[in-house]
Amino acid sequence: MHELSLANAVLTAVRSEAAQRPGLCVRTVGVRVGELAGVDPDALSFCFEALVRGTDLEPLRLAIEPCPRRHRCSRCAHTFTVVDYAVTCPACGEPRTDCIGGDELELAYLEVEEP
Amino acid sequence: MSRVPVERKVLSENDRIAAGLRADFERQGTLCLNLIGSPGAGKTSLLERTLAGYAPDGRVAVLTGDIQTDNDARRLARFGFPVRQITTGGTCHLDARMVEQALADWRLQELDLLLIENVGNLVCPASYDLGEAAKIVVLSVPEGEDKPSKYPAIFFKAALLLLNKIDLLPYVPFDLARARENAQRIHPEMEILEVSCATGAGLDAWQQWLKERRVAAASVGR
């Protein structure tokens, strides 16, 4: 259960991004969470809300964008979403494919408005 | 309301510190490894076996993380190498800042190998870069062969899987082939070694794995 530390890291990042945009209120922070990131989105949301409550960041909202595991075929360059750990290329049958996404844990965007 | 894109890792502060540590390790030719596994998987036993195989001038040190107690540091200190306990006081993983603080008064140029034993946990430590050259996941036979499928993050990120307690295979229902298959479905390139810290089986291959990487790290550094 490290989602509290992660929620806190999101807020630190929001504060630092907000400081670069004086005069604007951040209403929503979008965060990408990959399925291989080892992060529970519900726990992250719960911790985030608890940390925001009663602070000057209220009513800041967290929008989680789940990211599936994506692979690229090493032979035919086809890219595909991996379902149930099936990493073989569905286009050409090549078993060797490279992971190109799915472990994201990153800020994607801020929704801001003038107060 | 307008939307502005930001490109920033959630753990960017941790990653910044970890990058500094990694640069220090590489410059000094110190191989740093991050051992991750459930409580009781055998991480400390593996370290005991590993340290026992080194001469007193082995240029090896250990950081060991736990929520409470310095039991592990005391277990490991008897081999004569520098050992430092990081007691997290509740936190379920080590982060880069804890490692940086623990190393503050150590001279990396005197170390070829730094072994970090993370807090016993298959989930949270996977998210935190400690500046290591590689993560190693320790999975023991009694935990069951389905663990890679249930905790994919750490198996995805580890360079090596140590399947420990293989001496227990005759006594517990554990399908070795299935365990390997589960792990390789998550991470096809991951190396897998089967070991027993109780009997010593497979530990030669582990020492060889370490030796090859120490040589490679030393040739990059200095």
User: Taking chain B, what is the end-to-end CA distance rounded to the nearest angstrom?
Assistant: 53
Is pLDDT at A93 greater than 90 in this prediction? yes
Which two structure tokens, joined as six digits, stand for B43? 């991480």
Given pLDDT bands bounded at 50, 70 and 90, which one contains residue A84? confident
- Could you tell me where the DSSP H helices lie in B123-202? 147-150, 152-157, 176-186
Residue numbers of chain B with a pLDDT score lower than 70 = 221-222
Dump pLDDT digits (tens) for A32-44: 999 999 899 999 9
Pick the CATH number of B13-217 from 3.30.365.10, 3.50.50.60, 3.40.50.300, 2.40.110.10: 3.40.50.300
Please report the pLDDT score of residue A76 as a whole number.
97
Please report the pLDDT score of residue A115 as a whole number.
75
pTM check: above 0.95: no
Question: Which residue, among A29, A85, A114, would best test binding to B if mutated, counting the most B CBs under 10 Å from its CB?
Answer: A85
> If we measure between CA atoms, which residue out of A59, A51, A60, A3 comes closest to residue A28?
A60
E runs forming strands in B48-119: 60-66, 83-87, 113-117
- Answer whether A26 touches B (CB < 8 Å): no
Please report the pLDDT score of residue B221 as a whole number.
66
Residues sharing a CB contact under 8 Å with residue B160, sequence separation 6 or more, in sequence order: B134, B136, B137, B190, B191, B192, B193, B209
Indicate yes or no: CB of B13 within 8 angstroms of CB of A9. Answer: yes
**What span, in angstroms and rounded, lies between the C-alpha atoms of A72 and A69?**
10
Please report the pLDDT score of residue A79 as a whole number.
97
Which two structure tokens, joined as six digits, stand for B83? 């050992």
ipTM of the complex model: 0.82
Which H helix or E strand runs over A111?
A: strand A105-113
B161 neighbors B189 (Cβ within 8 angstroms): no
Please report the pLDDT score of residue A86 as a whole number.
86
Given pLDDT bands bounded at 50, 70 and 90, which one contains residue A2? confident
- Answer whether B4 touches A (CB < 8 Å): yes
Task: State the architecture of A3-12+27-113 in CATH terms.
Answer: 2-Layer Sandwich (3.30)
- Could you tell me where the DSSP H helices lie in chain B? 12-28, 43-52, 71-77, 96-103, 147-150, 152-157, 176-186, 203-220
**What span, in angstroms and rounded, lies between the C-alpha atoms of B112 and B221?**
10
Indicate yes or no: CB of B11 within 8 angstroms of CB of A108. Answer: no
DSSP B91: -
Indicate yes or no: CB of B188 within 8 angstroms of CB of A85. Answer: no
Q: Min CA distance, B15 vs chain A (Å)?
A: 12
Who among A10, A17, A102 is closest to B10 (CB)? A10
Interface contacts (A, B; CB < 8 Å):
93
